[in-house]
Amino acid sequence: MTVVIDTVSGEPKKPAKARHPEKAKNPDSAILRKPKWIRAKAPGSPVYAQTKAIVKEHNLVTVCEEAACPNIGECWSQKHATFMILGEICTRACAFCNVSTGVPLALDAQEPTRVGDAVAKLGLNHVVITSVDRDDLDDGGARHFADTIHAIRAASPNTTVEILTPDFLRKDGALEVVVEAKPDVFNHNLETVPRLYLSIRPGARYFHSLNLLQRVKQLDPEIFTKSGIMVGLGEAREEVMQVMDDMRSAQIDFITIGQYLQPTRKHAPIDRFVTPDEFDGYTKLANSKGFLMVSATPLTRSSHHADADFEKLKAARLAQEAKGLGVKGQGAKVKTR
């Protein structure tokens, strides 16, 4: 073992804590070279620096950084940041995710207020709030989500709020707490096809996640629902089509499909890079199945272009109503906040 000596204090430094201790014994897998169609804007613009400074000033965590999102340069250059609440340590160990895993710290009661203040300072019209999984909490963090929504509304009344939540597995009553806070968009990602759950998302249950989204519509039909999956993990086209059908059965309004990108050699390997033509095919399929919105490109991520997509969602619902095609859970009055 190598010991690093601090020449100032003379005391040996402790090795940095591993972000993914549960993956330490996984065999290394090759990280495939990205094809030419996967190119993201490098961070570094003045607005990017301003966004980073505001995030740091308010002592906040973003999923953009924690999950190593390839779109961070583009989004932060437009002052679009997805805030990650409930700490930065997740209690799950999904094979695809770059967020740190382990034993989380206690909740920060002031975090919702700081998020609200940051949203106001950034001048956001639309904000996305996500979180780590907190299986250690009785409500899975539901009250903290609700408090954050309320804090944003108090600090920036005209900002619409989109949330990307954990699954609240075995947390009775948690979903109702979040829905009662009336987010404008409720997103929960299915992540992959059912066959791959055991290896890719072992702590979750496919049909529980699907039912969670359906329950949102039952509790409040005005809320837009959204879910996404990654491709390139070994799924078959027919399996993706089945997920689309399952989502429509649960009255999900918006589907996102993006290329899985392997964070480290210890994470799940990429099976293949899905071509832009295949993504175009998924877009056409999803549109034919009746989704209000579809985003399917190699670099699609849950919160990428979320502000513009929210405006398109509202317009799509109004157009559907005008044609008399609204169905239960989709014909609700559009909020204009």
Query: Distance between CA atoms of 256 and 272, rounded to whole angstroms?
Result: 19
Reading the block at residue 182, the tokens are: 């009336």
pLDDT at 3: 44
Best CA proximity match to 268, nearest among 95, 99, 22 = 95
Query: Distance between CA atoms of 145 and 135, rounded to whole angstroms?
Result: 14
- The number of beta carbons lying within 10 Å of the beta carbon of residue 10 is 7
Q: Does residue 185 sit in helix, strand or coil?
A: strand
pLDDT at 78: 59
pLDDT at 274: 97
Query: Distance between CA atoms of 186 and 121, rounded to whole angstroms?
Result: 24
For the four alpha carbons of 52, 55, 58 and 62, in that order, the dihedral sign comes to negative
> For residues 313 and 224, is the Cβ–Cβ distance under 8 A?
yes
pLDDT at 71: 57
Query: Distance between CA atoms of 269 and 281, rounded to whole angstroms?
Result: 24
Question: For each of the chain's 337 residues, which pLDDT tens digit applies?
Answer: 444 444 444 555 455 567 788 787 888 888 888 999 887 666 666 766 767 677 677 776 665 565 556 656 666 565 567 888 999 999 998 998 988 899 999 999 999 999 999 999 989 999 999 999 999 999 999 999 999 999 999 999 999 999 999 999 999 999 999 999 999 999 999 999 999 999 999 999 999 999 999 999 999 999 999 999 999 999 999 999 999 999 999 999 999 999 999 989 999 999 999 999 999 999 999 999 999 999 999 998 887 788 889 999 999 999 988 887 655 444 444 454 5
- The residues, any chain, with a CB within 8 Å of residue 131's CB and separated by 6 or more, are 84, 85, 86, 141, 144, 145, 164, 165, 166
The pTM score is: 0.86
pLDDT at 328: 46
pLDDT at 4: 46
pLDDT at 171: 97
Q: 167 to each of 81, 94, 273, how far by Cα in Å?
A: 22, 13, 28
Reading the block at residue 74, the tokens are: 């583009």
Question: What element of type H or E holds 213?
Answer: helix 206-219
